[in-house]
Structures are given as structure tokens and as C-alpha cells.
Homo-oligomer: A and B are copies of this chain.
Amino acid sequence: MERFFNARSVVVIGVSNSPGNLGRAIMYNLMEFRYQGVIYAVGPKGGAFMGHRIYPSVLEIPESLDLAAILVPARVVPEVLRQCAQKSIRRVVVQTAGFGELGEERAGLEVQIREILRDHDMRMIGPNCIGIINRANGLAVPFMPFRMESPPGRVAVVSQSGGVGGTMINSLATENLGFSKFASVGNKLNVNENDLVAYLCEDDETDTLFCYLEGIADGRRFMEIASRSAKPVVVHKSNAGGAGAVIARSHTASLSSDDRVVDAALKQAGVFRALEQREAVEMIKAFSLSPMRGSRLAVISRSGGHAVMAADAADEYGFQLPPYPRDFAELVRAESRAKVIEPHNPLDLGDLFNLPLYLTLASKTLEREDIDGLLFIHNYQGVLDAEDSRRLVRGLGDVIGSCRKPVAVCVFTMQSELEVNRRAVRFPIFTDPREAVRALAWNRGFHARRPLALSTRRPSGVMPEKARALLEQCANGPLHSRQLAPLLSTYGAPLVRHRHAANEGEVLASAAELGYPLVMKTAQPEVLHKSDAGGVELDLTDERAVREAYRRLLAIGPEVLLQRMADPGLEWFVGGRQDRTFGPVVVTGPGGIYVELLGETAIRVGPFGEEEARGMLDELKGASLLSGARGRPVLHREGLVDLLVRVSWLLADFPEIRELDLNPVRVYDHSCVVLDWRATLSG
């Protein structure tokens, strides 16, 4: 990636002097951002643009080149890439649209491109993107002209949409944050967000990463990179599946994933997911503040109403508001006009007109050991107090600069005054007390986070080789219970005592061995819904009942499964499947009547350890059923935890197990037992 962003020479391919030529905008951007390297232009019509000769072909440029930015018709792209290869250009940004996002017929072009890249060891960003920017060296190749609005910042922007990426750059400028590097990834035919995020996590000029994504190329790698990152990663993932899926497909050729899996996976990796652009900006603002290392918040507000809102929000987001010390209160009271100020926290300064004192109060507050962060709210109309207020806001910059605790500043005034303030300072300004408190909560959350992402240690007693041997004998499709049950046992799933049988003799022998009462179920692999098919016989108490039941089940087929009838208990379900981008996913929740009542499931990408499994149960309301309230027994929660871990490993070790369903799992006070199992294999 370094060779993309730090290219010392760049050629723009597709420049002409005809009006509306987009290649010219790339040239413009390189000038606007003061690119420190050498620029060349290529276009079939020749001529010159902005003092640069337009070469008819890249092959005619006399010097060697680090990077090509390509904006030529789609059908010409392969030929241009071959010329780049011939010229030993190893990094290309292809901005041309009209590939996979238009459907199958253009996929042929993509195949050609992949081959050229592979054959010549080239890396490509795009196609169908608007390019990259490096603020440090002025490399800026978007075909949409940007203005260099703000000084370089420390936020990197990776966007699957040029428009959304541009919007974020504008927002960062508005918020006084700026950006370090920008990349629009488009169709991600070669370089994807993982390559960029991995690079930016190590980039010295970047403190915070923002990604707008419509699809995630390799979810597992993304999780690994993000969970190892020492920097906050904010992801705005759109294309949740419904109407968005159609337009995302035609926009950047992105397929949608199950949005709940995306949500779970990002949370697991310690990523902050934003649901809208504005929330993403709020999060980035949050992380730009110094670390909030506790929950003790001080609020100073010139407006009583905003102080009330701040206090409500402090409650909502779990902050404490330690009282101000007595001498501090006296200082405030001595200066206040009608002595109506009460030294509560939030401190309402409505009646204190000595604005310079506000700065002293802020500094004194931040010095306190029992305060982890400050929310400072200023409110003015700007008719008489504009100068004093502007000076106050500028002064806060010094207060912020001289302390290591976070200070969220809210300013309420006319829009024009707000802009004056923003231009005068270098910190972000908040415009809602609740937004500011939420930002401090995100900040606190980041500095307290412990992403676990994926486990690397198998639980004790699992036997992958034995499982492999069993699976090698299985055909694709629904697994036979005779095959699945031993497979599950190799990973230590606690199956109910059972026997398989295929004729009356086996049935009776099995029954005698298991003891009564018994359950008998059809085990014909083709039967998907055993109950619906009349394939379940309950509560068989003696040999005669078993014999009669078997005769009824014979109508479905000879294969049956006999189990000891389990005692009543709490029903749970444990399932899993292979997600297209995140791989093995485990799902669990209370079963039976609670499925519709609570409608809740916890989801994790596997494999994971016990801590993640406990986290799954913790997030379920229904987990209170396990905890023995209201005179009920405390149930074997750790048994479920263990089963979840084992299932996550089974699915991770064997991606050919497409779906697995253990339902019900019955949970007792000292054990949990799997009563029914189903799985589907695919090659």
C-alpha cells in the first residue's frame, strides 16, 4: 500500500482537452493538493494540459513511473493495463466504471484484468472508484475536483462510494478534524478494504479509521485486523439486505450479508458501527478527544436547560456527576450576579457574566483527581457578547491543549457565529449536550474495550482427526443421524443417551439397553420435519409399546433413533452456519415457547472461547431463566457455554458443515443435554 500512497511519480491516463473530460479533474486535484512528485498525462488526442504534455501512450513517457490513475472507457482498460505492465508500473488506480456492477456480461473484462494483474505482479485499486488522496505528499487522484479545505488531520477514510467518501471529507473539515489519507475502493477487484485498513492501522499519520462499506470482502480478515488495531475503527456498513441490496449491487457490485451477522462480527472485533453518516462523524469526534478513563464527569453550562439535558444524558450513558468542592462553589457564588447559582454538578453559570472566569473554572475542574472528563456548554446570541464568547471558545483550546482528560465543548449560537468559532479553533465543537455525552461514552468504551474476536485454542477433548474421518464418509445434503451423532460426540456435545436401529430386532435390543420410558423417532435422512411427518413416538413405557411404535414408523422407513425420554427442563437452542464473508457463525437463544415470546438470539463468529460464549448468554434477556430467580433452580449455564464453544470449533474446523441445528438442548441444574440434532453438508 505504501507504494500507492507514497508514489513519487504518477501518470494520469485518459486526459484530453475536450470539455467534460474527467481526467483533467485528476490533474486539477494533484495541483490543488500540491503533489510533491512528478505528474504525467496520457490521452490519445495528445496536446497539453496545465503545462503538461499529453502523451499519446504511457509507453512514450521517457521516465519510470510509480503509479497510474486510469480513467478510460471500460473496454480499453485491459489494453491500458498491459501498457502499464510493459512500462513496469506496479500500482494502478482504475476509476473507470462499467464492470461487475453492470452484471454478468461485463464480468469477462474483470477476468482479463485479474490475469494481467497476476501475471505482472501489479496491485490495483478499483475499478469504479474515485481514487486516493494522501494529504502528506499531496497525491490526490480523484476525478471529482476537491478543494483542500482544512489542514491535514489524523483520520483515514476508506470508502466504497466516492460520494460518501467525499461527504465524510467535507464533514471532517467542518468539524475541524481533517483527514490523513483517503481511498475510494469501488468494486474491490484486487485491493480491498482489508489491505487498506491493515496498512492504515500502522500508518503514523493516522489515529482513527473510518470505513464506509456496502459489502465486506473477507469478513474474517477484517475482524482480525480490526481487533488487533490500537486505533479506533469506525464502520458505516450500509446495504442491510432489503431494498438497499438491489442498488448496492448496481452501485459497487456488493452482495449483502445477513445484517445481524455483520453487527455481531463488528462488535466482536471491537469495531464501532455507525448507522448513519452523522453518527459516524459523532464517533470520530468522540475518538479525537483525549481518553476518558473513567465515568466521573463534570459539566459546566451557561444555560440551565442544557445543564438539565446534560444531566439526563449522564444518567442515560452511565456517568457519575461528583459534586463540586466547597471552595469552588464559593468562587462561583462570589462572582454571580443575583447569587442564584447553586454549585451542583452540572454547574449552571446562567447568572455569571464574567466569561474569563469560565476558563478558570474549567481548568480547576480538570485538575481534580475525582474528575475523568469535562463537558463544557456555552450559549450566546452573539449580539453583545460575541467578542467575549469567541475569546472564551478560543481559550478553551488552551485548556484542552494543556490537559490529558477529554473536554467536550458544546456551543449554542447562530450558525454564522458557530462557523466563526469553528474557524478559530482546532477542536471539534458539539451542538447537542446528549451528543457530547454520548461521544464521551464512546470514547470511554474504546479505551475500556477488550476485543476477543477469534479464539486460537481448541477446547479439551475435541478430536478433529476422528471427525475428519467420519465426515469423509458422508455425502452432501442432510446428514444421517447415524453419521451426525458420532461426529458431534468427537467434539464433546452432550447428546442424550440414544441408539440407532434399522430393524425390529435392533430396536428391541436397543430399548432393553436404554431402559424405559423411551422416545423413538424416524431417522430416515430424507425426513426434514420429523413431527410433521408423524415420525416421533413419545413416552414408550414397555416393550409392547416400542414394538407397536416401530411398526407405525416403518411406514416412513426402517431407520429409527431411540432415546431415553428426557426429564422436563428448560429448552434452549444452539445452531450455526457458514456465513459468506465471516465464516462459521454460532446462534443461540432460549427455545420452545420463548422463541416467539422473546424473539431473541445471540450471534457470534467462531471459533471463540468461553468468555465470548458467556457474553452471548449475557446479552439475552432469556438468560434470566438460567439464573434461578423466583424459586426456580439455578441451571447449568456453564454446560451451555461449553457446548457453544465446541459447536463454534466444529463449524470452524469443518466449513463443509453448512448448517447445524441442536434443538432442543434441555438445560437442567447440573447438566445440559442435546435432544435433537440436524446438519447439512455441502462440498
Contacts and interface: CB of A to CB of B under 8 A. Distances in A.
Interface of A: 20, 25, 28, 32, 73-74, 97-98, 101-102, 144-147, 149, 159-167, 170, 173-174, 212, 214, 238-248, 250-252, 275-278, 302-309, 311-312, 314-316, 321, 338-340, 342, 344, 346, 348, 350-351, 353, 379, 381-384, 412-415, 419, 431-435, 592-594, 596-599, 621-622, 624-625, 629-630, 632
A207 to B, nearest CB: 22
A309 B238 contact: yes
A599 B339 CA distance: 45
Nearest to A305: B161
A159 B308 CA distance: 13
A424 to B, nearest CB: 15
A384 B147 CA distance: 10
Nearest to A347: B247
Nearest to A243: B311
11 contacts: A73-B338, A161-B305, A163-B379, A163-B412, A166-B381, A170-B381, A174-B415, A247-B344, A250-B304, A250-B342, A596-B630
A304 B170 contact: no
B599 A312 contact: no
A286 to B, nearest CB: 16
Given A308-B248, A419-B415, A20 B315 contact: no
Contacts of A342: 102, 250
A275 B312 CA distance: 10
Contacts of A174: 414-415
A160 B435 CA distance: 21
A314 B244 CA distance: 9
Contacts of A32: 383
A412 B351 CA distance: 40
A252 B304 contact: yes
Nearest to A174: B415
A382 B251 contact: no
B246 A432 contact: no
B593 A630 contact: yes
Contacts of A625: 593, 597
A174 B312 CA distance: 26
A74 B340 CA distance: 11
Closest 5 pairs (CB-CB, A-B): A161-B305, A163-B303, A251-B304, A164-B305, A145-B383
A346 B239 CA distance: 13
Contacts of A238: 305, 308-309, 312
Contacts of A20: 353
A305 B252 CA distance: 9
Contacts of A629: 596
Contacts of A275: 434
Given A161-B303, A308-B251, A276 B166 contact: no
Contacts of A252: 304
Given A242-B315, A597-B621, 8 more contacts: A146-B381, A166-B379, A170-B413, A247-B304, A247-B344, A276-B432, A278-B432, A598-B621
Contacts of A250: 304, 342, 344, 348
B419 A381 contact: no
A157 to B, nearest CB: 12
B381 A101 contact: no
Contact of A239 (B312, B339, B350, B412): B312
- From A174, A275, A303, name the one whose CB has the most chain B CB atoms within 10 angstroms: A303
Given A308-B239, A383-B28, A596-B630, A412 B167 contact: yes
- From A170, A173, A384, name the one whose CB has the most chain B CB atoms within 10 angstroms: A170
- From A241, A251, A594, name the one whose CB has the most chain B CB atoms within 10 angstroms: A251
Given A305-B214, A621-B598, A242 B145 contact: no
Contacts of A97: 338, 340, 350-351
